[in-house]
Amino acid sequence: MDGGAREGTSGRAFWDPAWGAEYLDDFKALSSFGATAGGGVDRQAATPEEAATRTWFAAWLEDRGFTIAYDRIGNLFGMKETVRGAPYILVGSHLDSQPLAGRFDGAYGVLGGAHAAHRAGLALGGQEPRFNLAVVAWFNEEGSRFKPSMMGSSVYTGTIPLEVALATTDRHGVTVRDALALTQQVGDDDVLALDRIAGYVEMHVEQGPDMEANGIVIGPVVGTWCAYKYEVCVTGAQSHSGSTPMADRRDALLAASHLVVELNGLIDEFETEELHTAVGELNVLPNSPVVIAREVRLLMDIRARDTATLRRAFASLEQRITAIEARTHCTIEIISKSTWESGTFPEGGVQLTAQLADELGHTNASTVTLAGHDATNMNEKVPTVLFFVPSVDGLSHAEGELTSDEDMVAGLSLMTNVLHRLAGEGIPTVY
Amino acid sequence: MDGGAREGTSGRAFWDPAWGAEYLDDFKALSSFGATAGGGVDRQAATPEEAATRTWFAAWLEDRGFTIAYDRIGNLFGMKETVRGAPYILVGSHLDSQPLAGRFDGAYGVLGGAHAAHRAGLALGGQEPRFNLAVVAWFNEEGSRFKPSMMGSSVYTGTIPLEVALATTDRHGVTVRDALALTQQVGDDDVLALDRIAGYVEMHVEQGPDMEANGIVIGPVVGTWCAYKYEVCVTGAQSHSGSTPMADRRDALLAASHLVVELNGLIDEFETEELHTAVGELNVLPNSPVVIAREVRLLMDIRARDTATLRRAFASLEQRITAIEARTHCTIEIISKSTWESGTFPEGGVQLTAQLADELGHTNASTVTLAGHDATNMNEKVPTVLFFVPSVDGLSHAEGELTSDEDMVAGLSLMTNVLHRLAGEGIPTVY
């Protein structure tokens, strides 16, 4: 072990401040890829910006003795097989971003996970760890270029067939297969199949305001909100937007606008912040100044803590949709639906995270996640730990996204100890 | 003169049915350019499809003795100087279309105008006409690729500076200048300056249902509705559409949707069909599934018969906008405005059109235009005649746009006689 670090013994968390400084330097370097004028990043999946980020990150891992490989959906793995044939504890997140997004979302968990795995591995050097350590940067977590989000971990866990994912196109008709081939960051086998994974750990920025508001530095995640996501097709009839009598119009954009307003109006039927709804993407056809839209496609997002709330919201929405159809003479059709149900993370992992945070002196309180994460996918298959660090003003998916250096390093010190404990001692009772 | 045509004498309209059959063959050929699977055309300004259409049409004119030239904004002129130095009667419309549009809008008036000028010119052969005849296909009437609409005639009449028009970009950043240069359908002088034009004549499909509903074949246009067009920027704040608390959101798409709904709601404050409102184009930034939109840009279109109605509607809209801003914490800003005021067409031209329609046996009744036309621009500068033929179900800016062969030929026979009368006799009392 380096410098002034405390011993990595059971019940005694260790940390060297020099490791934090080194991490912050690397994070600055990482943030230069796809950097935007507004202080954020723009590196959507399989773009040159994201590919450059992954190339840099793969070199970082190789420099520290990790073996690099890409699986068939472009997930990047860095593996260190210390104990021959032993299962792996996997740590990671994603390096892709939304358009004009923040530097922290995903990237924090990938680089922080890699630093932590590196330090935890070194700290385990004199011991006989039970598990190996591996780092993953999941492909296309954001889903902004290729839908749906969390594509890499969904293929990995078998939720989405590989061929379906590879055939998905962006709005210019480019397939995932072709985009990945261009980056050369894709392989032809599974690399590290799910049955070789003993546990998954991810840290992430909160993307909400609660932890900062309550002075919490570490938030072990106990549960995830459920989310229903609908792709909707609103069909009207194309006509002249000046000369067509108002009574004869079947304006798909008017119907879609009513839908956006009504979806938002749903929240008034529930307790404050009990239900979240949004439309983030909406595309108009033909989208010309003097033409009534014949079609609008949009994505509706409805989230709540429990499925019963979502079902109640959706039942109300269906009534509202029927009224919009009658009023606008358009049809509103749900053409696809993707959901994730509410879930809980293993209690033992939450307890371990809280205990190690306490040992390190980091204020902590358990929390829930409203956003989806690759950890949500992994949690359905293997014991999974997820914890948050605060987001200033709760801002995310925006250039102004911010987590303080102190909070980033706090999370890193915790992750280092979580990996050290899991890989070194196995702690089967955690799960 | 050909075949069985009646004499082209004053007070006695002439027509040969064979000319109609020939026209219909040519119209079928013209409609093959940019033809769509749905029976329409898609040939937006300065695209390869529109350029091919113009190339075909220019050859058609040359074959019939017209001299071809493009002016500096890409308006295509076909001129026949029968009387050296005499002013011209100009006839035409436009060959560009909206995306997935009909075959008739614009193309009918260009090809029909050319056929009419050709036949009227031949009929004038033995006489001493007062004016020459010229045909024009105006550049970019539709405004779908390059805004605003009616660009070619606006530059021609001096409403838009040439340099401003040439610097206008499409959504991919291509300028009008570069797009025209690629087609090679642009010249370096004025070709036929406005002061050489004695009068302008245009025929067009109605794009509304009234003529068909009332059994009218020819509609001399007596007036034009006024229109206010606004480019609007709605500004919110980008954030995560799942995890951001509802109370913290500044959702530009939600605000824009309220605006679309409120703009439509304006019509309830007026008599039925007294006010037309629409949003045809709306673009969301960043337009990603899991991101609250930071900005929406949209185009509002408000039309009425008189300016007082439009002003009253806009005043109400301003109040509604203030309420939307307060409710959504977004700002809604009008960043540009283009208008055309209501106007009337010269009474003498309306009377001549009706008289010749009577002589030809075409049921006719004067009408107004809700849509803008190049004739609206020309009417501000030179004596202008505009008349309509019916649109089946009033449908336009859509692939299903339809005008019957009989009605097209009826308009063509009338246009032939209008041009013959105007060029041959001058009829100064018309205006």
Please spell the DSSP secondary structure of A116-137, one letter per residue. Answer: HHHHHHHHTTTS--SSEEEEEE
Q: How near does any CA of chain A get to the CA of B185, in Å?
A: 24
Q: How near does any CA of chain A get to the CA of B414, in Å?
A: 24
Per the CB < 8 A criterion, the answer to whether B107 and B57 are in contact is no
Amino acid at A207: Q
The list of chain A residues with pLDDT below 70 reads 1-11, 426-431
Residues B143, A289: C-beta atoms closer than 8 Å: yes
d(CA A207, CA B290): 12
Whether the pLDDT of residue B3 is over 60: the answer is no
pLDDT at B128: 84
Q: How near does any CA of chain A get to the CA of B153, in Å?
A: 17
Residues B209, A245: C-beta atoms closer than 8 Å: yes
Q: Model confidence over B340-360: pLDDT tens digits?
A: 889 999 999 999 999 999 999
**Axis crossing angle, helix A405-425 with helix A107-123, rounded to the nearest 10:** 50
> How large is the average pLDDT for residues B225-236?
96
Of A105, A335, A103, give the one whose Cα is nearest residue A205. Answer: A105
A-contacting residues of B 138-177, CB under 8 Å?
142-144, 147-149
Residue found by looking up tokens 């405390």 in the block:
A6
Residues 6+ apart with CB under 8 A from A37: none
Residues A147, B208: C-beta atoms closer than 8 Å: no
Q: Which residue of B has its CA nearest to A170?
A: B288
Q: Considering only CB atoms, which chain A residues are within 8 Å of B284? A: 281-282
Q: How near does any CA of chain A get to the CA of B45, in Å?
A: 13
d(CA A390, CA A209): 8
Report yes or no: B294 at the A interface, CB cutoff 8 Å. yes
Per the CB < 8 A criterion, the answer to whether B300 and B283 are in contact is no
CA distance readout (Å), A194 to A113, A240, A380, A418: 19, 55, 12, 20
Whether the pLDDT of residue B4 is over 60: the answer is no
> How large is the average pLDDT for residues B87-102?
97
Whether the pLDDT of residue B247 is over 70: the answer is yes
Whether the pLDDT of residue B430 is over 90: the answer is no
B5 pLDDT band (50/70/90 cuts)?
Answer: very low
Report yes or no: A332 at the B interface, CB cutoff 8 Å. no
Whether the pLDDT of residue B416 is over 50: the answer is yes
Q: Which of A211, A243, A260, A386 to mutate to test the interface with B (most CBs of B within 10 A)?
A: A243
> How large is the average pLDDT for residues B12-22?
95
pLDDT at A6: 44
> How large is the average pLDDT for residues B149-159?
96
Residues B243, A290: C-beta atoms closer than 8 Å: no
A-B CB pairs within 8 A amount to: 259
Give the full edge-to-edge strand order of the sheet including A295-304. Answer: A275-285, A295-304, A226-235, A331-340
Residues B241, A397: C-beta atoms closer than 8 Å: yes
B-contacting residues of A 70-99, CB under 8 Å?
98-99
pLDDT at A128: 84
Of A187, A218, A197, give the one whose Cα is nearest residue A366. Answer: A218
Q: Which of A41, A241, A320, A399 to mutate to test the interface with B (most CBs of B within 10 A)?
A: A241
Q: How near does any CA of chain A get to the CA of B297, in Å?
A: 12
Q: How near does any CA of chain A get to the CA of B246, in Å?
A: 6
C-beta neighbour count of B253 within 10 angstroms: 31
pLDDT at B426: 67
Residues A289, B144: C-beta atoms closer than 8 Å: yes
B273: nearest CB among A207, A245, A371: A245
> How large is the average pLDDT for residues B260-287?
97
Residues A289, B280: C-beta atoms closer than 8 Å: yes
pLDDT at A339: 87
Q: Considering only CB atoms, which chain B residues are within 8 Å of A242? A: 207, 225, 227, 276, 278, 301, 303, 370-372
pLDDT at B431: 46
**What's the Rg (C-alpha) of chain A?**
23
d(CA B179, CA A304): 50
pLDDT at A356: 96
B-contacting residues of A 352-391, CB under 8 Å?
369-372
Q: Model confidence over B361-406: pLDDT tens digits?
A: 999 999 999 999 999 999 999 999 999 999 999 999 999 999 999 9
Residue found by looking up tokens 């009392």 in the block:
B429
Residues 6+ apart with CB under 8 A from A137: A54, A57, A75, A76, A92, A93, A94, A95, A110
| Tokens (6 digits) for A89 | 């504890």
Q: Which residue of B has its CA nearest to A44?
A: B288
d(CA B7, CA B210): 33
Report yes or no: B36 at the A interface, CB cutoff 8 Å. no
Q: Considering only CB atoms, which chain B residues are within 8 Å of A397? A: 238-241, 288, 290-292
Residues 6+ apart with CB under 8 A from B333: B232, B233, B234, B235
Residues A289, B299: C-beta atoms closer than 8 Å: yes
pLDDT at B6: 44
